[in-house]
């Protein structure tokens, strides 16, 4: 469980909500050795450190042996991989099926992509059959699973994820932070992992177009491994000369500080099973430009500015419009805060506990 990624955050926030409840449930948590977060202070939580990766082949054999003597009422696989040999009652979360729809996201090798996609497809299909219920984080992922995997709709439960509203409720502009990162206002902000579906290249092209009429505008890009990505566009230094700043990995609090200072948050992703960064930006009150694609309209509602993600000129027009219109920025920021309030982690935890309880009933064990 790595807290800095989407699934790690999902696990951490869900467990935090469970820990706040005065309920008799007991939880056994399988932890990655690198995870610093702990709930061991709560007697209802027992933590077991395991070294298996999320989708590792070895874990398919070792985890069932580890879980068997625990006699769990229900096992929750927080990602799309339920151990094939596990025989107890189980619930599985599927956040998206990007690797199945876009196998090139695994890497550059065609054979590796094909094998990895087939392996993950097998894990998802098997997990769906074995689970008493499958939790999906958006209506879009539900439709994808029905259309592409033939999943029985009655097995799927849409449970939206949440947002840590406290972290983003009172953001302030930290001028020392901007100085340290060598950022000047006005600037746009985005968060990415540089995978193809994040569409970061189209955003860079859009900012280049927008800077023709606003040369002072900069783009701050937060995300791991920026240098490898920069090679596709020249050099890190060359991009910086164009006002495009690759900041690398930054912790959540630093990103929240950048959101408070940004003119807009731009996220032209081609596919999202949920889309934490959009929701975080809305909670922070920064106006959002994003794609009318996949699950993103479910989050944004009428509180964001939508663009055609494959058209850099359309993204550039939205950027230019937003930068020039103070009233529109203020309106979107206000509506974004209101919209984000619809996504509390408490609601996620309520729905998840209900699914656990339903999945331990005798009727839940009829699936092979």
Please check whether residue 251 is in contact with residue 36, taking contact to mean a CB–CB distance below 8 angstroms: no
Answer yes or no: is 263 within a domain: yes
Q: Mean pLDDT check: name the lowest of 65-69, 144-148, 224-228.
A: 224-228
Q: Mean pLDDT check: name the lowest of 83-97, 100-114, 244-258.
A: 100-114
pLDDT tens digit string along 12-57?
Answer: 999 999 999 888 899 999 988 878 788 888 999 999 998 766 667 7
Looking at every residue in the chain, the average pLDDT score rounds to: 88
Same structural domain for residues 68 and 97? yes
Query: Is the confidence at residue 74, as pLDDT, over 60?
Result: yes
Q: Mean pLDDT check: name the lowest of 94-103, 110-119, 247-256, 265-274.
A: 110-119
Number of domains present in the structure of the chain: 2
Please tell me whether residue 182 adopts helix, strand or coil conformation: coil
Measured between alpha carbons, how far apart are the two ends of the chain, in Å? Answer: 28
Please check whether residue 258 is in contact with residue 274, taking contact to mean a CB–CB distance below 8 angstroms: no
Same structural domain for residues 350 and 331? no
Query: Is the confidence at residue 363, as pLDDT, over 50?
Result: no
CA separation for the pair 269, 280 (Å, rounded): 15
Answer yes or no: is 355 within a domain: yes
Which pLDDT belongs to residue 218?
97
The β-bridge relationship of strands 305-307 and 288-291 is parallel
Same structural domain for residues 350 and 209? no
Tell me what the mean pLDDT of segment 198-205 comes to. Answer: 94
Answer yes or no: is 241 within a domain: yes
Placement of tokens 């929701």 in the chain: 279
Answer yes or no: is 1 within a domain: no
Q: Which two tokens stand for residue 328?
A: 């529109």
Phi-psi bin for 182: left (phi > 0), alpha (psi -120 to 50), beta? left
Q: Which two tokens stand for residue 142?
A: 């539900």
Which pLDDT belongs to residue 56?
72
Same structural domain for residues 78 and 152? yes
**What distances in angstroms separate CA 198 from CA 42, 73, 86, 192, 266, one per listed residue?**
38, 38, 34, 6, 11
Placement of tokens 């709930």 in the chain: 39
Q: Mean pLDDT check: name the lowest of 25-34, 79-88, 113-122, 218-227.
A: 113-122
Which pLDDT belongs to residue 1?
39
Same structural domain for residues 280 and 222? yes
Q: How confident is the model at residue 106 (pLDDT cuts 50, 70, 90)?
A: low
Answer yes or no: is 328 within a domain: yes
Same structural domain for residues 93 and 42? yes
Please check whether residue 295 is in contact with residue 138, taking contact to mean a CB–CB distance below 8 angstroms: yes
Query: Is the confidence at residue 362, as pLDDT, over 70?
Result: no
Tell me what the mean pLDDT of segment 73-80 comes to. Answer: 93
Answer yes or no: is 105 within a domain: yes
Q: Which two tokens stand for residue 154?
A: 């009655």
Same structural domain for residues 142 and 239? no
Which pLDDT belongs to residue 191?
95
Same structural domain for residues 129 and 178? no
CA separation for the pair 350, 339 (Å, rounded): 20
Same structural domain for residues 143 and 292? no
Tell me what the mean pLDDT of segment 257-273 comes to. Answer: 95
Angle at 220 between CA 215 and CA 226, to 5 degrees: 120
Which pLDDT belongs to residue 9?
87
pLDDT tens digit string along 269-321?
Answer: 999 999 999 999 999 999 999 999 999 999 999 999 999 999 999 999 999 99
Answer yes or no: is 112 within a domain: yes
Query: Is the confidence at residue 189, as pLDDT, over 70?
Result: yes
Same structural domain for residues 27 and 153? yes
Report helix, strand and coil shares of the chain as percent, to nearest 5.
Answer: 50, 15, 35
pLDDT tens digit string along 128-166?
Answer: 999 999 999 999 999 999 999 899 999 999 999 998 877
Which pLDDT belongs to residue 55?
65
Q: Residue 27: give the domain boundaries.
A: 6-162+345-365
Please tell me whether residue 135 adopts helix, strand or coil conformation: strand
Which pLDDT belongs to residue 15?
94
Q: How confident is the model at residue 209 (pLDDT cuts 50, 70, 90)?
A: very high
Q: What CATH number corresponds to the domain at position 317?
A: 3.40.50.2000
Answer yes or no: is 32 within a domain: yes
Same structural domain for residues 158 and 130? yes
Q: Which two tokens stand for residue 270?
A: 């081609």
Same structural domain for residues 202 and 257? yes
């Amino acid at each position: 469980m790595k807290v800095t990624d989407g699934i790690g955050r999902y696990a951490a926030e869900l467990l935090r909500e469970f820990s706040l409840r005065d309920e008799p449930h007991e939880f056994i948590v399988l932890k990655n050795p690198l995870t610093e977060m702990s709930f061991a202070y709560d007697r209802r939580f027992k933590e077991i450190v395991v070294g298996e990766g999320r989708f590792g082949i070895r874990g398919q054999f070792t985890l069932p042996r580890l879980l068997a003597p625990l006699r769990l009422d229900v096992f929750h696989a927080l990602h799309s991989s339920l151990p094939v040999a596990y025989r107890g009652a189980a619930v599985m979360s599927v956040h998206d099926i990007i690797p199945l729809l876009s196998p090139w996201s695994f890497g550059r090798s065609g054979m590796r992509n094909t094998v990895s996609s087939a392996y993950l497809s097998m894990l998802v299909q098997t997990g769906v059959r074995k689970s008493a219920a499958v939790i999906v984080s958006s209506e879009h992922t539900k439709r994808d699973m029905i259309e592409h995997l033939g999943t029985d709709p009655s097995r799927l439960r849409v449970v939206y994820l949440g947002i840590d509203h406290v972290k983003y409720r009172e953001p302030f502009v930290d001028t020392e932070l901007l100085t340290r990162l060598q950022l000047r206002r006005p600037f746009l902000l985005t968060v990415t992992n540089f995978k193809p579906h994040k569409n970061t290249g189209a955003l860079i092209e859009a900012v280049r177009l927008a800077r023709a009429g606003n040369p002072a505008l900069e783009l701050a890009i937060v995300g791991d491994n920026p240098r490898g990505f920069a090679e596709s566009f020249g050099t890190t230094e060359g991009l910086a000369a164009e006002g495009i700043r690759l900041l690398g990995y930054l912790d959540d609090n630093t990103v929240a500080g950048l959101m408070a200072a940004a003119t807009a948050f731009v996220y032209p992703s081609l596919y999202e099973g949920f889309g934490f960064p959009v929701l975080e930006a809305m909670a922070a009150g920064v106006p959002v430009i994003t794609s009318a694609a996949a699950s993103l309209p479910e989050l944004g509602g009428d509180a964001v500015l939508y663009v055609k993600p494959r058209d850099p000129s359309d993204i550039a027009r939205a950027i230019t419009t937003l930068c020039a219109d103070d009233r529109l920025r203020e309106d979107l920021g206000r509506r974004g805060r209101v919209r984000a309030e619809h996504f509390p982690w408490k609601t996620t935890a309520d729905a998840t506990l209900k699914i656990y309880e339903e999945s331990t009933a005798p009727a839940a064990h009829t699936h092979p």
